[in-house]
Chain A
Amino acid sequence: DAKTTQPTSMDCAEGRAANLPCNHSTISGNEYVYWYRQIHSQGPQYIIHGLKNNETNEMASLIITEDRKSSTLILPHATLRDTAVYYCIVRAPSNTGNQFYFGTGTSLTVIP
C-alpha cells in the first residue's frame, strides 16, 4: 500500500473549516484514500473514503486532486469535539490481508 505524508499537528478555530492535507504521491490506480480519526483513548472512527471523485457525507468532505497524488479532508464547521488525531490511509481493496496501516496522523486541535 502507498505511503502517506501528513502534517504532525494543526490548529483550527471553532466554527471555521478545518482543512487537513495528505500527500500520497505513490498511490496506485486501484488504491482508495481513507480517513479515520481517533479521539484520545478511544478506537479510531471511520470518516470517509474515495477513489478519484470528491466525496461528501454527514461528517466531512474529501477532495482528491486530479492526479490523485494528494487529498484534503474538510470538516466544514469544526467543533471542540473534532479535536482528535486524523489518519489518512491509502489502500487497495483486497481480500488478502485487508488490513489498514495507520501512521501517526495529524493531531487537530480545535480552539474555542
Chain B
Amino acid sequence: DGGITQSPKYLFRKEGQNVTLSCEQNLNHDAMYWYRQDPGQGLRLIYYSQIVNDFQKGDIAEGYSVSREKKESFPLTVTSAQKNPTAFYLCASSNSGTNHYTFGSGTRLTVV
C-alpha cells in the first residue's frame, strides 16, 4: 500500500545531541513537509520541499536542518541549537493533482 512512513515512533535523546528523524513516502509525491506540534497546539511548519534538491524554510526553521536527495525521502535533523526540541514531529507529502496532504503517523521526540 502507498503511504508515508516516519520512524521511529518514539525517540529519546540527551540534551546537546543532534538527532535525525526519518520520513519516507512511496506515493510519488513531489512535495514534502515537516511540522512540529506541541501539546494542545496546532501544527507549525518547519521546512518544506517542492522538488528534489530544493527546500524552503517554514515558520520555525531555526535549529533544524533538512535534505532532499531523493524524491522519496525528506529527513529532518534536530540540532543542538534547537532550544526546545521535545515535541511531536509530523511529516507530510502532497502533489499538485490531489492538492491535499498525506501525513505520517509522527515521531515523538523527548530530549532529556
Write the residues of chain A forming the contact surface with B, with a CB cutoff of 8 angstroms. Answer: 32, 34, 36, 41-46, 49, 87, 93, 95, 97-105
Cβ of A103 and Cβ of B42 under 8 Å apart?
yes
Q: By the criterion CB–CB under 8 Å, are A43 and B108 in contact? A: no
Q: Are A43 and B105 in contact (CB under 8 A)?
A: yes
Contact of B48 among A36, A49, A99, A104 (CB under 8 A): A99
Which of B31, B41, B92, B99 is the one whose CB lies under 8 Å from A43? Answer: B92
Whether B105 pairs with A104 at a CB distance below 8 angstroms is no
The DSSP consensus for interface residues of chain B is: strand
Q: Is the CB of B42 within 8 A of A105?
A: yes
**Chain B interface: which size bin?**
20 to 34
Given contacts A95-B96, A98-B50, A102-B35, contact A43 B42 (CB under 8 A): no
State whether B101 touches A104 (Cβ < 8 A).
no
* A99 contact from B41, B45, B91, B102, Cβ within 8 A: B45
Q: Which residues of A contact B108 (CB under 8 A)?
A: 41
Query: Judging by beta carbons under 8 Å apart, are B100 and A87 in contact?
Result: no
The reply to whether B96 and A46 form a contact with Cβ atoms under 8 Å apart is no
For the complex, give the distance between the alpha carbons of A103 and B43 in Å.
7
Report whether B58 and A49 are in contact in the complex, using a CB–CB cutoff of 8 Å: no
| CB pair B40 A43 closer than 8 Å | no
Instruction: Please measure, in the bound complex, the distance between the C-alpha atom of A99 and the C-alpha atom of B104, giving whole angstroms.
Output: 16
